[in-house]
Amino acid sequence: MKLQLETLYKNRENVHEHFLQDVLDGLNQNPKHLQSKYFYDKKGDALFQDIMAMPEYYVTRCEMDIFQNKTKDLATEILADGSAFDLIELGAGDASKSLHLLKYLQKTGAKFTYMPIDISGNILEVLHQKLQSHIPNLDIRLLEGDYFEMLQKASKVSSRRKAVLFLGSNIGNMELSEASDFCFELRKNLNKNDIALIGFDLKKDPHTILNAYNDPKGITASFNLNLLERINRELDGRFDLDKFEHFQNYDPLSGACRSYLVSLENQKVNIGIHSIDFKKDEVIYMEVSQKFSVEDIQNLSVSNGFKLNKTIMDSKKWFADAIWTA
């Protein structure tokens, strides 16, 4: 296996500075807000693995169904004219779904390099080990950092056709306007006939959706609260976790499933030399997990300059992987 690791953040102090600034900016807004991209430290990564294993969290299983049972459909779109290409995965995580596609593509004899991009170097290391044992001889280049910076880096090192994967309904963790900006930016970074394969969680029975994010064991609650713990650990924060409670809601009209942490009393919390006031019942808005209709997906592609090639769904029709051409 050929391996190269590019690290955007050689300077870890920079990461720390960004984190502190984002936390202070967010907690000084009204309503207070923390960015869910910060959920994923080592403990957050582990908690997200636990979420994916929960019976209520159907999202991963549905997309896995597509990657296991409709691999040929996915591959046909990606192979296109049969020319060599780079398969770039944004937010690759442990790549458990793409593994099926990678194996399939390798069997066809396709010439490609797999380039997973993830903000978590820890996750990329785990992924590297896994790929080494599952797919020897896979050509791989690990890219640690922000999606578009790394996508530009990928374009500098290779001029081959690109197929970009953005799976797991990660796009759902953006506000709708941000998701549209993201698609616009993605289109700008692609050449004509490059491909984007994006995973969308579909609108469905509101109870099914709410249960997936409001689990009885409180794993999702711990996942949210871990960000306060992370602030304590890394930014010298003084959050008392017993004084905050997770609250989740789902609006079937807009398709927004949102998580909050509610302050259980009037309190002042120090973060290093800074101090933040919370009123009783005041919330910190933590994350949106947006759900989409097929029309929403179509609009998003066309309004950002893509052509919608195909939408591949799981057997329950709860999740869709949309394949767009630039």
What letter would DSSP give residue 180? H
Give whole-number Cα distances, 210 to 45, 109, 157, 275, 291, in Å.
22, 43, 43, 34, 11
Q: How far is the CB of 259 from ligand AVI (least distance, A)?
A: 7
Sheet holding 32-33, edge to edge: 32-33, 283-290, 256-263, 244-251
Least Å distance, CB 197 to ligand AVI, is 15
Residue closer to ligand AVI (CB basis): 289 or 304: 289
Q: Nearest residue to ligand AVI, using CB?
A: 289
Strand pairing class (161-166; 195-201) = parallel
Torsion, Cα of 247, 253, 256, 259 (10° steps): 0
Which sign does the torsion angle of CA 230, 236, 237, 238 carry? positive
State in Å, rounded, how far the first CA of the chain is from the last one.
30
Judged by the rule CB under 6 A, the positions of this chain that interact with ligand AVI are 51, 59, 168-170, 172-173, 213, 220, 223, 287, 289
Decide whether 118 or 144 has the Cβ nearer to ligand AVI: 118
Nearest to 159 by CA among 75, 74, 76, 83: 83
Q: How far is the CB of 78 from ligand AVI (least distance, A)?
A: 22
Query: By C-alpha distance, which of 137, 138, 83, 136 is closest to 116?
Result: 138
Q: Which stretches of 71-209 are assigned E, i.e. beta strand?
A: 85-90, 112-118, 139-144, 161-166, 195-201
User: Which CB atom, from 278 or from 319, has the smaller least distance to ligand AVI?
Assistant: 319
For ligand AVI, the closer CB: 113 or 120: 120
State the nearest-atom distance from the C-beta of 107 to ligand AVI, in Å: 29
CB of 121 to ligand AVI, least distance (A): 18
CB of 245 to ligand AVI, least distance (A): 16
Residue 90 or residue 142: which is nearer to ligand AVI going by CB? 90
Nearer to ligand AVI, 65 or 287 (CB): 287
**Nearer Cβ to ligand AVI (51/196):** 51
To the nearest whole angstrom, how small is the minimum distance from the Cβ of residue 287 to ligand AVI? 6
